Amino acid sequence: MIRTVGVVGGGLMGSGIAEVTARAGMPTYVREVSPELATRAMQSIEKSMTKAVERGKLTADARAAALANLSSGTDLAPAAKADLVIEAVVEDLDVKNALWRDANALARPETIFASNTSSLTIAAMALASGRPDRVVGLHFFSPVPVMNLVEVVRTVGTSDATFDAAKLFVLHLGKTPVIAKDASGFIVNRLLVPYMLDAIRALEQGVGTTVDIDTAMRLGTGHPMGPLTLLDFVGLDTTYRIAEIMFTEYRDARFAPPPLLKRMVLVGWIGRKSRRGFYDYTQDPPTPTDLGV
């Protein structure tokens, strides 16, 4: 049974995962590569829960209890010694596998390793983990405290006990697990990434303007946001990296990054986090960026 959690990586996804595990009553340790980033992760979680209290989604007592479950630092050992280690580091297989090798040397034999990867296969990490029967994919969605879905991914080597424990863990968080095959992109990104890339191609080809493409998909299909707004939210650099991984895996043109996406990443227009993407977020409200298409 999973009672304690170590989260490696305290960025947007890692801090969100740590928040929901702490809120579910699990002592959670967040490991970052520097004291400054560890502090920033804790501040991000505290800010998120404060907003939840203000919106009536969380009580002040529940916030205090969750914060009491949280700790952070730069030492990997406290994370590795938890019942479950979830990695949420950069989408780079070499980085992830180096982490698993280090964690395996510190972890108890029964500890489960889970990757939050959105595009890499879990099997690609199984050997490096040193415990292929205790490795599983747990792909959360952003923002983690709000989104209810978690893709649970097993490899051919994942044991039934590990898989069952992972599903029970997701249910304990109050989220809905879906079972996905260990293939790059799993279910959601296998369908979502080509959709977002096609929206960029439509813009390149003059099918519609940035605003018209987004408006059409919001009002015509009931999506909460248009594909170009979604790309800015996800991050164009992240999307580009995921698309390259999936194209390498499948060699299918649907996953090939469009030229416009590459150009925007090269100039640093990567969405909300850079204040410029398909929209200019230095303006209030944001205005479409002149991309010369």
Distance CA 154, CA 109 (A): 19
> 283 exposed, middle or buried (CB, 10 Å; 0-12, 13-18, 19+)?
exposed
Distances in whole angstroms, Cα of residue 10 to Cα of each of 31, 67, 87, 236: 7, 15, 9, 20
Look up residue 143 and give its DSSP letter: S
151 in active site: yes
Rg from Cα positions in the chain: 19
189 in active site: yes
- Catalytic-labelled residue, pool 32, 72, 104, 139: 139
Q: Is 184 helix (H, G, I), strand (E, B) or coil?
A: coil
Residues 6 or more apart in contact with residue 16 via CB below 8 angstroms: 48, 140, 142, 143, 144, 145
- Catalytic-labelled residue, pool 15, 118, 119, 129: 118
- Catalytic-labelled residue, pool 115, 116, 119, 189: 189
223 in active site: no
Look up residue 271 and give its DSSP letter: B
- Catalytic-labelled residue, pool 19, 44, 151, 184: 151
104 in active site: no
Give the residues across from 73 on adjacent strands: 31
User: Which positions are catalytic?
Assistant: 118, 139, 151, 189
